[in-house]
Structure 1
């Protein structure tokens, strides 16, 4: 069983010390990098839908677009 079993995405990223990498990937709207980071914390196929969900609605996940356009920034 994975050491990440039963953890939330944020808990997984924290445990793996990947929050900074994740935030950079989100701000850059780098879907491929986001997916690779999520796969490093054993998200499997959920990495794709998780990355897509964050990019589709960044405000829901704690990011915002300063001018309503462009890449999201961490709050």
Structure 2
């Protein structure tokens, strides 16, 4: 299951998008940990998204 699928099925995708759009690294990591990602995997994922947000589709269109 992809990260987006995990967030979507957990009802957290909008919260993750908001955290990422705001550059809130800590909150985005917390949300990924809620969908059973380890801290190191969550940190790596969030850092990649924040480093190159357009590549991952951020900010999301309203």
Unmatched 5+ stretches in structure 1: 1-6, 64-72
Unmatched 5+ stretches in structure 2: none
Show structure 1 runs of 4+ deviating over 2 A: none
The count of aligned residue pairs is 60
Q: Which structure shows the higher helix fraction?
A: 2
Aligned Cα RMSD in Å?
0.8
Query: Could you state the TM-score of these two structures normalised by the residue count of structure 1?
Result: 0.76
Q: Which structure shows the higher strand fraction?
A: 1
Match in the other structure for 1:59: 54
Query: Could you state the TM-score of these two structures normalised by the residue count of structure 2?
Result: 0.91
